[in-house]
Amino acid sequence: MEHLDVLIVGAGLSGIGAAYRLQTQSPQRSYAVLEAREDLGGTWDLFRYPGIRSDSDMFTLGFPFHPWKAAKAIADGPSILEYLHETAAEYGIDQKIRFGRKVLAASWSTADAVWTVETEHESYTCNFLYVCSGYYDYDSGYVVDFPGLASYEGRVVHPQHWPSDLDYTGRRVVVIGSGATAVTLVPAMADRAEHVTMLQRSPSYIASRPAHDAVSDRLRAILPERLAHHVIRGKNVAFSSLVYSAFRRWPGPAARFLTKAAARELPPSIPAEPHFVPRYKPWDQRLCLVPDADLFEAFRRGSASIVTDEIESFVADGIRLRSGEHLPADVVVTATGLQMVALGKIALTVDGRPVAVNETFVYRGMMLSGVPNLAWCIGYTNNSWTLRSDLTSQYVCRLLNHMSRTGTRMCVPEIPAEEHDKPARPVVDLTSGYIRRAAALLPRQGTTGPWRLRQNYPRDLLALRFGKLTNPDLHFR
């Protein structure tokens, strides 16, 4: 059984970033990356549906240590995957990845201060376990059992399992959904399909943004590459943080601003209400981003349309709606969302006791109460994922170095009784359907101090990179 100082689970954005931080900030420690799939990339290797792209700018979604060089700030999936391969190869991280190793279980022994990690084919031991597999279920997306689905004679596709043989050229397509996947698919498929209809039960807030950032292009033209990257990254972080804070503080004006902006992009045949007037406040759910207004352009061309209604039943040649309208469809894409899981569905035990992850609380947004020598890397919901995942990895390295300096082999966060007994919230505090469905599965966050997960990059930067490691709630043994 192979022993390593640190095992990283997952070779996507978080895992590659974690490996870089570990080998540069805690280089004395041996490590390996266990990846369930046969290639690196995580989300960007899994999803292959038309038009897949980032919904954050690549200067903040990309790594701070490896500048994004491509022209587009809002990048497509293949470009992001190429960037991840390039990063892993340049820093030798690709040599540390063990592919086809799906982690099933991990058990902690306090007596030995060691995790035993079980994959499908072999076992490892490690002193610290760092789970960088995100919080989506890679095995299956969220599938709705629509009434009458068995009677439908066309093809039904879920974006998470996009078939390579699907030819929708000249076909009538209905995309069910109103989230980021749906607004990506509709303009991408409209170029080849006879017509694409976006069918939503309720609207989302949608904002247009240029795929190219003119200011960033200018800065890259006059500044050295790395300096330009840091200046652009800082600019974009500041802008997105200010916009988020303003939208949360003044939700009414923010809602009117977003609705009016959408209305200006729409053709006369599509009114903003009800199709672009959500029932929730901005940033109660994640804002959908469309680069260069491509969704609205498809509406203006007439190659796509939008319907806000509920499904009564599938029929042989399409979908019958509650309003009585019939939507003909040769292909139906169910962009109904993702399934969320905690820690890649790894079964955890501590000294023989199974860990109920949904009963734990997150410390500093990464460690679980009562679980030693383990961190879970998650990103922001209101900003680029990598901004927080990179801070988490740097904090983990600081923690490991502190343990080496002090000769401690074990650290475990313990939530105080008075904090534990307060009303708790899910670790991901949005009202989106996929998050509500997973609320009973995910760890919880507290209300104060290190037990509260804030969506605030400047504050996290100070706390995780420069703040004290020692805390009365974090016990070293």
Q: What is the 3-state secondary structure (H, E, C) of 173-239?
A: EEEECCCHHHHHHHHHHHCCCCEEEEEECCCCCEEEECCCCHHHHHHHHHCCHHHHHHHHHHHHHHH
Tell the burial category of 370 from Cβ atoms under 10 Å away from its Cβ (0-12, 13-18, 19+). Answer: middle
Architecture of domain 149-217+250-334: 3-Layer(bba) Sandwich (3.50)
Euclidean distance between the first and final Cα of the chain, in Å? 26
Query: Mind listing the pLDDT tens digit for each residue in 80-104?
Result: 999 999 999 999 999 999 999 999 9
pTM: 0.94
Structure confidence at residue 431 (pLDDT): 63
Q: How confident is the model at residue 419 (pLDDT cuts 50, 70, 90)?
A: confident
User: E strand or H helix at 328, and its extent?
Assistant: strand 326-328
Longest Cα–Cα distance in the chain:
71
User: Could you report the per-residue pLDDT of 322-381, keeping only the tens digit for each?
Assistant: 999 999 999 999 998 888 888 999 999 999 999 999 999 999 999 999 999 999 998 888
Q: Where are the domains of the chain?
A: 2-139+339-476, 149-217+250-334
Query: What integer pLDDT is reported at residue 432 of this predicted model?
Result: 67
Is residue 437 predicted with pLDDT exceeding 80? no
Between residues 286 and 79, the one the model is more confident about? 79
| 2-139+339-476 under CATH 3.30.70.1070, yes or no | no
Burial class (CB in 10 A: 0-12, 13-18, 19+), 388: buried
Q: Are 396 and 465 in contact (CB under 8 A)?
A: no
Tokens 């916009």 belong to: 243
Place of tokens 């950032």: 213
Q: For the ranges 137-141, 177-181, 197-201, 445-449, which has the lowest average pLDDT?
A: 137-141
Helices (H) and strands (E) in the chain, counts: 14, 25
With 80 as the cut, is the pLDDT of residue 438 above it?
A: no
Res 126: pLDDT? 98
Q: What is the pLDDT of residue 357?
A: 93
What single letter denotes the amino acid at residue 444? R
Please report which confidence band the pLDDT of residue 434 belongs to, taking 50, 70 and 90 as the band edges: low
Query: What is the C-alpha to C-alpha distance for residues 473 and 93, in angstroms, rounded to an integer?
Result: 34
Residue 134 clears pLDDT 90, i.e. is over it:
no
**CA 336, chain centre distance (Å):** 16
Per-residue model confidence (pLDDT) at position 141 = 81
Mean pLDDT of the chain: 93
Fold matches, 2-139+339-476 and 149-217+250-334: yes
Residue type, 79: S
Q: How far is C-alpha 40 from the chain's CA centre?
A: 16
